[in-house]
Each structure stands twice: as structure tokens, then as C-alpha cells.
A and B are shown apart, each in its own frame.
Chain A
Amino acid sequence: LWSGHHRPAPVRHLSIPTDAVCDADTIFALSSGHGRCGVAVVRVSGPASSMVLRNMTGLTQTLPPPRTALLRRITDPHTKELLDRGLVLWFPGPHSFTGEDSAEFHVHGGPAVITAVLQGLGSLKGVRPAEAGEFTRRAFHAGKLGLTEVEGLGDLIHAETEAQRRQALRQMDGELGHLYQDWSSRLKRCLAHVEAFIDFSEDELIEDGVLNQVDSSVHRLQTEIERHLGDERRGERLRNGVQVVIAGATNAGKSSLLNTLCQRPAAIVSPIPGTTRDVVEASLDIGGFPVLLSDTAGLRDGLDSVEREGVRRARQRVEQADLTLVVVDSTQLPTEPKQAPTFLQGYLSIVLPQPSGGNPEEGREATSDRVLLVLNKSDLVPEAQKERTERELRESLGLPPACFLSCHTTTGLGDFLAVLQSRVKTLCGNPLSGAPSLTQARHRAHLQQSVQALSQYHQYRNHDLALAAEGVRLALTHIGRITGRVGAEEILDIVFRDFCIGK
């Protein structure tokens, strides 16, 4: 083990990794959906595209003819291990979607292949996963999009950001999230202490010991992140599949729906309100698409703390879901069918988290895409009322599709499954739903860049603290792309909290 200030000087100055938001970076993304698809398309755009193409396909001298598909072995750029055989395409700028040099890899659609290809790309220098809407934004900056198309761009970025946010929330759930958060807060503290030493040590009482602590903290962080990146087995547990969450009031029949769908009693079903206190999860296959189904506690203000915790988790699940099945007890529907839409709107507003944007238009659109209403216990409702209610609901705007169903008699199950399957299919085929493997690749790329930036700290620690601090700042920027951006004021908060700084 060595600590920064015992390192032999002079050291040759290495190049620093660029900030992740640079437009001149080369970016990649999975532009087809995840799940069961025959072919997955990975797009690359930016100045290093030709380098990427060469490194991934072993084409050392010549590039493929422009805009022509070529069948190649696709290998890991470092280990040269064969990842897949697939089609590669080369689009030299400006004749490409983004106006930049671009490339495409068409590989087999299994999650293992996709993950390997994305990780291979992410390991190349100057290449990183695209931010939300970044391909389109580049196309816009290159003048490839008309102004009218930009309006769509905003919505696209919104959708992608939302999808990535949901995906990231899932991945950040639990151990991994804690780990990243912990790294982020330790880096923040390191940066704050270096900045305090730079800005205040000459006037205030800030001892050199502060920097020695930063030295060892930075070193520990580096080691931890490197070990994490090197440890394949303890890697992120991918939660593959479309996340479908069952939510609704207590005793509406949520657990019965889960059991009906799983055809086995996975959750305890009982007629007492509030039986399901935790989240019950089941993996299943709907029409060939992977689905992760969760049943949640009934949403009511539970009396005991265990139940309150269950409700909290339920709300969290709904927030992260690709699709929410909102279960309603049909016997609670108003007997006058005309009042049903209003009743259901009210019900939804209790069960679903309020859209963060606050824009009612945006919120409603998003809701109808991501929600199905399941009107359970239909066997207990008179047939005439059911039919008239169905008609009312079809005609009313702004409500998600609704299906009458009886988990008890399985009446209506066929129709409901058809709706569910088509919805799952759409979600799987949509690249916006956020492939877990891409999120994983993005995390890896940022962690790698973070480690690289930290080595700049040690390199300059003894003779240029400003450049050393820049290394920590860059590292924090990269971690911040996973856990949330850190502003100058946050750093100053720590400085003023930890040190006595005068006027």
C-alpha cells in the first residue's frame, strides 16, 4: 500500500478523463428493446466510432463500405473473447442520423450477449453510454432535425429520463444503492476538505492533517470501487423483465389476482383486510415475455407499524413500475354507471403516486400508458350494471383501459390476459423502457471514470493541489451521474459545517 504523498516524484502528467457531458464524447445505446427479441441493435455515435468499430470487430485496416451490412465476429476489445457473430454497419458523418460518424451492431437478442457488448463498448476510452435523448439532441445540434421535430424531442427526453429514472431506482434499490450513495457522500467530504484547505488554510486554522485524511480516504475509495468493478460474481443482480405491480385498496383482491396469474398460491390470501404486509414477487412468462410481478400491501393508512412499512414499500413499488394493475372491488362501484368514471379517477389518484411534473396533461397520458384497471369480483355485480358501466368507461376520456374480472370464477380472465399481453409486448419492444443491462453499463462506465479521475488526485497531490482537487471533482461528477448531481453550494455546506471559517 502506498499513500499519495509517499509516491516518488516527479510523475509524468497523465491525461485526465473528460467530463461525462462532453459532446465530443462517443456515445452508445441499445436502440432496440430488451426481453425476447431476435435481434438487438446497439448504436454508436461520435468521433471515436471508427475506432470502436475496429476494436470490436478486429477490422484493423479497412472499415466496411459506408451504409453496408457486414457479417463479423464481434469480440471484447480487451480480452478478444468472442461475444457474438452479427452485422456491423458504418455510417461516416455527416451522412448519419446524428450527423457524426456512427456505427451499428446488430447482435443476437439474448441478455447475456447484449450485456457483454455494452460492457465491451463502455470499456473503450472516450466512449460512454448515452444520456437520455442524447442521440436525438446531437442530431438536432447537427441541424438534422427541423424545429418541428424538436417539440417531439422534449417529450422523448422526458420519456427516456422517466424510464431511466425508474430503471435506476430499481437498480439503486437495496445494497447497491447504499454503496453508491456512500461513495458519493465520502467523495463529497473529500472534495469539501480539499477545497477548504485551498480556500481557507492560509487564514483559518485548518491543519495539514486534513489533507492526510483525504489522502487515505481517496485511496480507500479507489480500492473499493476497483474491487467492485473487478468482482464479476458480486455484480449487480439484474432484475430482468417488465416490472408489473399490483396495487389497490385493501381487500380488493390483489393477492387473488397474483395467484390467478401465477396459478399457484404465492401470497397468503385471506378475507381479512390488510393481510399482505410485505411485497410478494413472482417471475412469470406472459406470452413469451419476462414479467416480474409484485403484489403489494393494500393502500390504506395502516394502524400498526409493520403495516405502515408495507404501505410505504407498496407506494415505492408503484413508483418504479413499468405497468401497474390497479385492482378495484367491483361491488364498491357506484350503482349508477354514469358515476363510475369519476369514482375510478378518484380511486386512481389515491393509489397512484402524483406525477412529479404536476402537469395534468402529461400525467394523464403517462397514466393511461402505464396502468390497467382490473375490476375484480365481477361475479358479484349484476350483469346489466356491468355492461352499462363498461360502456361508460369506454366513452370516458383520460381513464386507463378497464377489464371486468372475477378471480373467483376466472370469468373475463382471457380478455384481461390478452390486454395484459399486448401491453407487456409493447413495453418490451420499446427501448425507452430502460434495459437493465444498459443501466448497468452506464454505472460501470461512470465508476471506471471515477477511479481514473481519483488517480489524478494522487498524481498532483504534492505539487499542485488545484489539479489534484480537479481529480476529486471529476470523480464526484461521475458518481453524481448515478446518484445525483452535486453542486458547489453542497460542498460549501460541508466546508462551513466542518471548519470554522471567518468573514
Chain B
Amino acid sequence: MLARKLPLILHNLPWSVSSRAGSDLARRHYDVIVVGGGHAGTEAAAAAARVGAETLLITQKIATIGALSCNPSLGGVGKGHLVRELDALDGLCGRAGDWAGVHFSILNRSKGPAVWGPRAQLDRERYRQFIQSELLSTPRLTVLEGSVEELLVSQSNPNEPGHHRVTGICLVNGSQPILSSSVVLTTGTFLSGSLFMGQTTTPGGRIGDAPSCSGLSHTLRETLGLRVGRLKTGTPPRIVKESVELSLVQIQTPDKEPTPFSFLNTHTHCKPEEQLPCYLTHTTPGVERVVRESLHLNCHIQQDSKGPRYCPSIESRVLRFPGRQHQVWLEPEGLTSDLLYPQGLTMTMPPDLQLRLLREIPALHRAEIRTPGYGVHYDFVCPTQLNPSLQVKSTQGLFLAGQINGTTGYEEAAAQGLWAGVNAARAALSLPLLALCRTQSYIGVLIDDLVGRGVTEPYRMFTSRAEFRTSLRPDNADIRLTPRGFEEVGCVSLRRYKEAVRVRDSLQEGLAALKSVTLSSTRWREKLGNISLSESRNGSLNGLDLLQYKDVSFEMLAAIFPEHLSPYLEFSQRLNIEAVYRPHCEKQSREIERVQEEESLSLPPDMDYLSLPTSLSSEVRELLDRVRPNTLGAATRIPGMTPAAIVHLLHYVLRTAQRNQHTGQRVKAACKP
């Protein structure tokens, strides 16, 4: 059966030739099996292989690996932070974005480097090609087309009821199971997914793809006893570009100089002048009217009993904020695509009404729809049942990433995918599992929020979720993560590591050089011209002091002290940022250390809080039993925890740790850089 798939792979990837695929496909046992070829799955498979695991990626359709199923864009505020961090850990999406981007811009340019949002519109075809060829050239990685019928798990451990171990998967019509030590499930919206359009409902996770088998959902729920919830999302209709009156929209031009996502790239594939514009238009009262008139024909919206706090669709927007103009962005789908993607117009009404709605917008008055919008309902696994390694607490070797954990967005999915892939590989190779701390990265914030608090609506990353936002900037993601990614995690190439170390050392030297150049404020004023400087106490200021002034740049200082500073001109922007932020980061560092100290104390996953022989109130016991925090730090963040309860817990953990030094495999919550 497997051999039969081989020609199919080659057929679908005609631009890339692999000589090693044949021998790999003969295997019946892998270290890691990744189910799903979306953003989470591709990052997971690539990361697992980088860590050193023999990895199999199984997807329903090889052609849709790396497909952007919704918006043709990557990054943004908060999400861009995730892309930079993924790249710092040698993930795929940053480089794929640089290859496929057709419109680059840094959002929030005027609001401070900590909240800059690198973003790009993507060419769908190029993105898919990049991801597919990258996967095919990744050693130890095999791609297989198929549908997973069932997840194979061991019988429940009699000593620990409810605890299982993953053993592999079974394919639909597969004669024999494929065995593995770890399985990463990244099934997106396909877990009991159903599609909504108007009054029709069909099973599935994405239009045009077969629904995945219900066996998986059954195993998760019935055999493993996992709690699942239901969420919904949607996608807008795609509009034929020719049918849009572009004279009636505002043109949004990209940055003149595209900034790459990847730390490895100095420029993007798309030339600056080849970039495409985006277009901005607004809704009209007519749009609101169509929404109201079509409500009785709209199952997706009618079932909106406990909707999210934000507005996922145009229906929810005009219902919750009536009488307003809402923004609609018309985004290019690629260099050669004849379609536009209307961001802000996700809708689930019947197709004829979708067309009526669009045509209420002046620029779209004769718009044609290529594919209508639709909604998806799908199951997610309550993520509080996972460890920070993204392994299911009760099932050794089973990892979950992406929408299955209740998140929304490509970047959020990719971030979890990479981390789940890393840990799936490490588990298979008998290496300790790892956690990323929220003091260190947005990926850490994301995972900590998911496993620590759970979700009630699709979780999306915002910079306001990161309490250490000042330190966790897009510019310094490489310094924060790449060294650890190489030295400890094992998911970073030597080439990237060396580059990050070079940058780190150069920045340190550059800052020292800035500190070493001092002049009196009078002399600085002479040299810099019209700059108003405040007098400092002893009258002399160094280069770092000068960079605190908005109008002073590293380049200006390097012109005054070329022999000291010109070697670091390559890093002038980063040095500007470092100089301004360093004092603030140092102020935060104590708080960060305290959090890290608490994070480094892990709580045993099997702790029986209800009968713990220490004085905890029954309320606190129930809280702990329900949330099952992984670390003392996570426990302190549970709403309703008292300081006294934390101390009792700390005491209990230390006493127990003293008594028995070694316990089984445990997540190592290493936060120390």
C-alpha cells in the first residue's frame, strides 16, 4: 500500500526530486508520526526531523500541504512576534513568508519596536511550493497521503487508571498499523468538523476536502476520556478581481523596502517594486440590511448562543456594533491569481445572499464570487489536559497542536506545531521534555495560557497577553531563542546558531563601545547640531545616554566616532532599540527571575490534591485538582489561589522532593537562559 503512494508523492511535487523517499517509505515503525499537513503539522514534522527523529507526516492530500486555507497573509501585531520566534527556532514559516510574500509591511511602525508587527500578503502558490519542497528535502522526514482511521494506544495502565501510551496509527483501508513512539495530532478543524452555508450543513473541515474519519474523535473521547469542546470559525467568499471597481477603493501600498521575517534573510524573494497593493473599502447600511434579512436563513449565526467576545463574521459585526461603517480589506491572493480576499467579510449566509451583500458595497457593486464563504464547527480538546510540552497528560507520546487545542491563526498553530514536534521527537529519543517559559517568548505565553487557563473562544495572540512585552520583541527573538534552540533543544542548525552568536556578541560589543564614547553635553550639542540635551549631573554623557533621545541615531554617533562605532553599523537599528529598551528590561528582569524560579518548581502531574496532607481549603483543592498546574508558577496564576495556599504547596513539594529524589519522566521547565 505504501509503495503505491510513492508515484503520487512525486507526481505532486514535480519540481523537486528526492532520492531517499523510497527506502524511508518501507519503514513500519517511526519515532514520530504527525497527522495533518497544515501549519501546525508541517512545523511539527520538520521540527521532529531536525531534532533527529525518523518522522512520518500523514496528510489527506499531499497537494494541500502548506495550503493557506483562509487569509493569504502571515504575521501582524503579536502574530509577527510568533513568526520571528518560529524562525529563531529554525521553523519554516518565516522563510516561507519571505519566499512567498508579495506585499510586506511593518505594522505599528510608529508605536515602538516592542509592538512592531511584521506582516506580509502571500502568494498562495509560492507558499505551498516552498513548504512542500522544504519538507521533501528534510532528512529523516517521509510524507504519506492517507486518512487516519484510528489512533493506537496501549491498554490503560492498571497502576495508573486512565493512563495510556501511544503505539501508532491505523490508516483507512490500511492493512497493517504504522507504529511509532510519538504521535502529533494537528487535525485543525477536521475533528468532527461540519461546514455551514445558509441552511445546509455538511460534514467536513474544509471545503473541497473529504471529512476525516470519526474514529479519531472517538478514540480521544471514549478511550482516552479527554474532554472536548466545540468552536466555530469561518472564511469569506473569494471575489474575482476583475469584477471589483478599483477606482472606488483606497490603495494601501506596502513598505518601500520589504523587511524579511527570517533572521537568515537579508532580502525577500519578491523585489520591492514587484510588490502588490492592498485595497481598503467600507461596509454600508445596505450590508447591515442584508444581514438582518438573511438571519432566518443562517444556521451558523442562529446557533451563536455563547459566541466569542470578538466578532468573527460580518454578521456578528453589524449585529453587535450596528449603525457603523466597518472596514473591509481586499487582499491579493498572489502574483498570478485573479482573486481578491475580502478580509472582514467572513459570512455564512446562502450564496445568493452573499452576492447581494457584497454588491451593497460601492466598489463591489458588480462583484462576482468565485467560491462562497462558509462556517465550520469543530471539536477541540480542552488544552488544560496538556503539559507545557503539549503532550496529553494522561497519554504518553500523544501530542496535540493547532486548532485542535482551541487556537485560531496560522502563526498560533505553527508555534504549537514546532514545540509539539520538538517534544514528540525528544520523547521518542528518550530525552527530557522541555517547556518554554512565558518570560522568554510569545510561544511560551501562548502555551502557558492554553495549558494553564484553557480557552472559551478561539485563542489568538495579542501583545497585551505578554506581561514582559518590553523584553520579548520581534527584533531580539534570535538572541532569546536561537542559542537555547541549538544548545539544549536541538532544533536549530549550526549555521543559524553561529550567526545568532555572532550577532549577540556584536551587539554586546557595540553597546560597550557606545558606553565608552563620552563627551560633555556641550560638545555633543556642537557635534550633533540642533539637539536639545538635558544636562546630566557630572556634565558628561555617553553614547547610550544619547540614544535615549528620539532624534539621535546610531548612525549619527558612528559618524562622530567612526573608529569606535563603525564596525557595528550593520546592527545600527538593533543597537538603537537595545539602548532605549535595556533600562526597562533590566527593571523587569527581577520580576522575570522570580517567575522563572517559580516555573522551575514543577508539580507532579499525578498529585492527589484532594487528599494532600497539608492545610489547604477544599476550594483551593478543587481548583488545583481541576486545573492541575504543571509548575508552582502556573499555580500562582490560577484565579482564586491564595498566597497561603501557594506556600503550603511549595512546602509540600519541597518536602516530597527531598524524600524521593527521582520520579518518572517529567517536564523539565527550564527557563534559565
Contacts and interface: CB of A to CB of B under 8 A. Distances in A.
**Do A and B belong to a common assembly?**
yes
Contacts of B549: 10, 12
B606 to A, nearest CB: 22
A496 B464 contact: no
B647 A205 contact: no
B550 A10 contact: yes
B549 to A, nearest CB: 4
A137 B469 contact: no
Contacts of B465: 488, 492
A21 B462 CA distance: 25
A199 B616 CA distance: 40
Contact of B594 (A21, A157, A358, A502): A21
Contact of B108 (A202, A359, A491): A202
Contact of B346 (A203, A362, A503): A503
Contacts of A465: 108, 110-112, 115
Interface stretch (A146-154, A245-253, A284-292, A309-317): A146-154
A464 interface: yes
Interface stretch (B4-12, B150-158, B164-172, B584-592): B584-592
Nearest to B460: A503
Contacts of A161: 642-644
A42 to B, nearest CB: 23
A503 to B, nearest CB: 5
Interface string A3-30: 0000011101101101101111000000
Interface in B619-646: 619-620, 639, 642-645
Interface in A445-503: 460, 463-468, 470, 473, 487-488, 491-493, 495-497, 500-503
A161 B587 CA distance: 27
Nearest to A153: B647
B591 A19 contact: yes
Nearest to B462: A199
A161 B460 CA distance: 36
B497 interface: no
Given A132-B643, A147-B654, A199 B464 contact: yes
Contacts of A502: 310-312, 317, 343-344, 346
Contact of A470 (B108, B310, B325, B470): B470
A13 B108 contact: no
Contact of B655 (A131, A147, A202, A357): A147
Nearest to B409: A503
B488 interface: no
Interface in B317-344: 317, 320-321, 324-327, 329, 343-344
A366 B647 CA distance: 19
Contacts of A350: none
A487 B619 CA distance: 21
A151 B651 contact: yes
A336 interface: no
B650 interface: yes
Interface residues of A, number: 62
Contacts of A24: 590
Contact of A467 (B114, B329, B551, B650): B114
A155 B594 CA distance: 22
A329 B344 CA distance: 70
Contacts of B590: 18, 22-24
Interface in B189-236: 233-234
Interface string B115-159: 101000000000000000000000000000000000000000000
B648 interface: yes
Contacts of B566: none
B562 to A, nearest CB: 24
Most chain B beta-carbon neighbours within 10 Å: one of A151, A493, A500: A500
Interface in B472-521: none
B114 A466 contact: yes
A12 B650 contact: no
Contact of B615 (A204, A361, A501): A361
Contacts of A13: 548, 580, 583
Contacts of B467: 473, 488
B78 interface: yes
A8 B551 CA distance: 13
Contact of B591 (A22, A470, A473): A22
B523 to A, nearest CB: 18
A496 B457 CA distance: 12
B247 to A, nearest CB: 22
Contacts of B648: 151, 154
Most chain B beta-carbon neighbours within 10 Å: one of A151, A198, A356: A198
Nearest to A363: B617
Contact of B617 (A147, A358, A467): A358
Interface in B423-466: 460, 462-465
Interface of A: 8-10, 12-13, 15-16, 18-19, 21-24, 131-133, 137, 147, 150-151, 153-155, 157-158, 161, 195, 197-200, 202-205, 356-359, 361-362, 460, 463-468, 470, 473, 487-488, 491-493, 495-497, 500-503
Given A199-B462, A203-B329, 15 more contacts: A15-B583, A24-B590, A131-B643, A133-B643, A155-B615, A157-B647, A195-B464, A356-B619, A358-B618, A359-B618, A467-B470, A468-B112, A492-B465, A495-B464, A503-B346
Closest CB pairs A-B (n = 5): A357-B617, A464-B112, A496-B309, A466-B112, A158-B644
